[in-house]
């Protein structure tokens, strides 16, 4: 069973994603900000990370960059899941090496296709 870590500060989105992914057979962990998410990523070593960009404490870019340092975590697939649909933001997300960039509101079947393709 693949483990997905959701790093999302919006409680409703985080809880909905958790529930939907669990129904699809994934083991799910979550964090409400970038610092907690980074700590959980290093502890749990998930199979995939879904991460918002605009969050308190550490933003998604900071989480991604921090995960590139330890020898094991740079291989964890990383998907930015964010409300920012500006081309500049998408380009930054892709240029730093994220596996995907999905904008909110997102289509759950599309998200599942992306997750399964990456895994």
Write out the residue range of the structural domain in which residue 114 sits. Answer: 3-118
What's the number of domains the chain is made of? 1
Predicted TM-score of the model (pTM)? 0.90
Return per-residue pLDDT of the chain as tens, 119 residues: 999 999 999 999 999 999 999 999 999 999 999 999 999 998 999 999 999 988 989 999 999 989 988 666 678 999 998 776 666 666 666 667 788 888 888 888 989 999 999 99
What DSSP line would sit under 24-55, residue for residue?
TT-EEEEESSHHHHHHHHHHH--SEEEE-SS-
């Amino acid at each position: 069973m693949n483990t997905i870590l959701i790093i999302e500060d919006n409680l409703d989105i985080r809880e909905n994603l958790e529930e939907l992914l669990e129904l699809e057979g994934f083991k799910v962990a979550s964090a409400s900000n970038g610092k907690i998410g980074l700590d959980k990523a290093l502890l749990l070593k998930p199979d995939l990370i879904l991460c918002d960009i605009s969050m308190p404490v550490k933003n998604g870019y900071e989480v991604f960059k921090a995960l590139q340092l330890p020898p094991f975590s740079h291989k964890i697939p990383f998907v930015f899941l964010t409300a920012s649909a500006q081309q500049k933001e998408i380009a930054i997300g892709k240029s730093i090496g994220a596996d995907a960039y999905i904008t909110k509101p997102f289509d759950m079947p599309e998200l599942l296709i992306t997750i399964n393709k990456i895994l």
